[in-house]
Amino acid sequence: MANVNNSGEREQWGSKIGFILAAAGSAVGLGNLWKFPYMAGKNGGGAFVLVYFVMLFLVGFTLMLAEIVVGRHTQLNAIGAYRKIRKNWAWVGALGVLAGFIILSFYSVVGGWVTAYLVKALSGGLKITDAQTLGNMFGQLISDARTPIFYHAIFMIATLLIVYGGIGGGIEKASKIMMPALFIIIIILVLRSVTLPGAFKGIEYLFVPDFSKINIGVILDALGQVFFSLSLGMGCMITYGSYLSKDTNIPESAVTIPLIDTAVALLAGLAVLPAVFAFGFEPAAGPGLVFITFPAVFAKMPLGGIFSILFFVLVLFAALTSSISLLEVVVAYVVDEWKIKRKIATVALAFIIFLIGIPASLSFGPWAHIKVLGDRGFFDTYDFISSNILLPLGGLLLCIFVGWVWGTDKAVKEASNDGQLEFKLAPFWSFLVKYVAPVAIAIVFVRSLIG
């Protein structure tokens, strides 16, 4: 009884587009909306975008295909999938499930902040033009002992309710609503942003490459961004792929999903940077851009109240379609392997992950003095262990597994639906998965360990 529907079979995606939207939903998230524009700014604008594209082709598509193929071949969760192909490789899947557990615990804390800001935007409480005041407001929210935990709970409950509904009735249905809404909202925001006087500087910032800025650091940053942004390295796409029917065109999906993710990252850059420049702000790092600079930008705009609501709805949808995929990785494992009912597993796991997230939230306030790993508090420790260690390691091991242990010939057989489908790039993909991708990832991994 594994993730079964009423007729006793394993659940499957209801449609091809349902799978694409759910998988793209997993990929499109906080990583695209605030990280990409900032990384581009930090790393020479268009130069970064160019390198990102190269990395996307060399590693992004390669791993996306590898994960989906393993998932569909085995029709199992991340751990079960590795075990089915090679018994003693199950631990690699376990690393992925662990990563999902940890990432969701702090992703949900940030999702809680987004929810809190949406509530603020809805009540008109964000009509403040002074970045300093907004900065204090953000600081107050995240350092409070109770409010962020309350919103963390709300975000987790929203995640849980979707996953509770299963693959077709929960994740696919939610993605089919939220992803189109997300596209519409981001296009409205881009149109607003690029038509502001002075917006051109922001467009230039994103697209005009400054080649003198390309160095090994930029290349490695771009590779890391491809990884996190595409939800690769922790068996998320193995899990989503496991609900695919045998006639899906995997090579096509493995191209479409990264393309959608990249389009949204570029659109996010086009929504964020022109507006930031038009109002004379500096593109600030990380959370600052979303929670401080952006409300200030909106407050200065005509109809800014509506745009700020739209913006936080957009961020919330993006975060939710990613958080459900993180929870699904863990739920699928418990349902498949421990034979626990999906509904019970979902509620229990969401509750445990919520509890694990509490120290991450408190680490911005009452527990700020507690250091867990070096000088990192709980939040930063969770982020470091998962993003910098578990994901790259998981991706590297996936390449070795598919390229050398299982074998690319078997993977290609699965990817081409037993030869029924033409997979022209098979030799090229095999080369990438055996040699290029693992070497590239190994470099990032070593560098992230050095710091």
Contact residues: ligand PFF, CB under 6 A? 26-27, 29-32, 103, 228-229, 231, 234, 236, 322, 325-326
CA of residue 260 relative to chain centroid, distance:
13
- Specify the residue, 32 or 74, whose C-beta has the smaller distance to ligand PFF: 32
Residue with token string 């690319």: 408
Of the two residues 29 and 224, which places its CB atom closer to ligand PFF in the complex?
Answer: 29
Residue 202 contacts residue 423 (beta carbons within 8 Å): no
Q: Which is nearer to ligand PFF, 26 or 159 (CB)?
A: 26
Judged by beta carbon, residue 253 or residue 322, the one nearer ligand PFF is 322
Phi then psi for 425, rounded to 5 degrees? Answer: -85, 10
327 or 335: whose CB is closer to ligand PFF?
327
User: Using DSSP, how many helices (H) and how many strands (E) does the chain show?
Assistant: 24, 0
Measured CA to CA in angstroms, residue 52 lies from 102, 225, 227, 367 at distances of 26, 8, 11, 37
Collapsing DSSP to helix, strand or coil, 129 comes out as coil
CB of 399 to ligand PFF, least distance (A): 17
Q: Which is nearer to ligand PFF, 151 or 279 (CB)?
A: 151
Cβ at position 261, least distance to ligand PFF in Å:
8
For ligand PFF, the closer CB: 199 or 316: 316
Q: Do residues 113 and 151 touch, judged by C-beta distance below 8 A?
A: yes
Tell me how crowded residue 8 is: count the other CB atoms within 10 A of its CB. 7
At closest approach, how far in Å is the CB of 430 from ligand PFF?
25
Residues across the chain? 451
Structure-block tokens of residue 68: 């989906």
Q: Give the nearest distance from C-beta 445 to ligand PFF in angstroms.
A: 16
Q: How far is CA 325 from the centre of its chain?
A: 9
For residue 255, give the H/E element and its range. helix 250-278
Q: Toward ligand PFF, which CB reaches closer, 296 or 315? A: 315
Torsion of CA 148, 150, 151, 157, to 10 degrees: 140
Displacement of CA 6 from its chain's centroid (Å): 31
* C-alpha to C-alpha distance for 43 and 47, rounded to whole angstroms: 7
Residue 171 CB, nearest distance to ligand PFF (Å)? 12
Pull the structure tokens for residue 86: 């090679």
Shortest distance (Å) from residue 417 CB to ligand PFF: 26
Quote the tokens at residue 206: 């994103």
Give me 93's structure tokens. 């899947």
- Minimum Å gap between C-beta 191 and ligand PFF is 24
Closest contact distance (angstroms) between CB of 133 and ligand PFF is: 28
Identity of the residue, 31 or 165, whose beta carbon is nearer to ligand PFF in the bound complex: 31
In whole angstroms, the minimum distance from the beta carbon of 386 to ligand PFF comes to 8
Q: Exposed e or buried b for every residue in 321-356, given b needs 16+ CB within 10 A?
A: bbbbbbbbbbbbbbbbbeebebeebbbebbeebbeb
Q: Which is nearer to ligand PFF, 326 or 400 (CB)?
A: 326
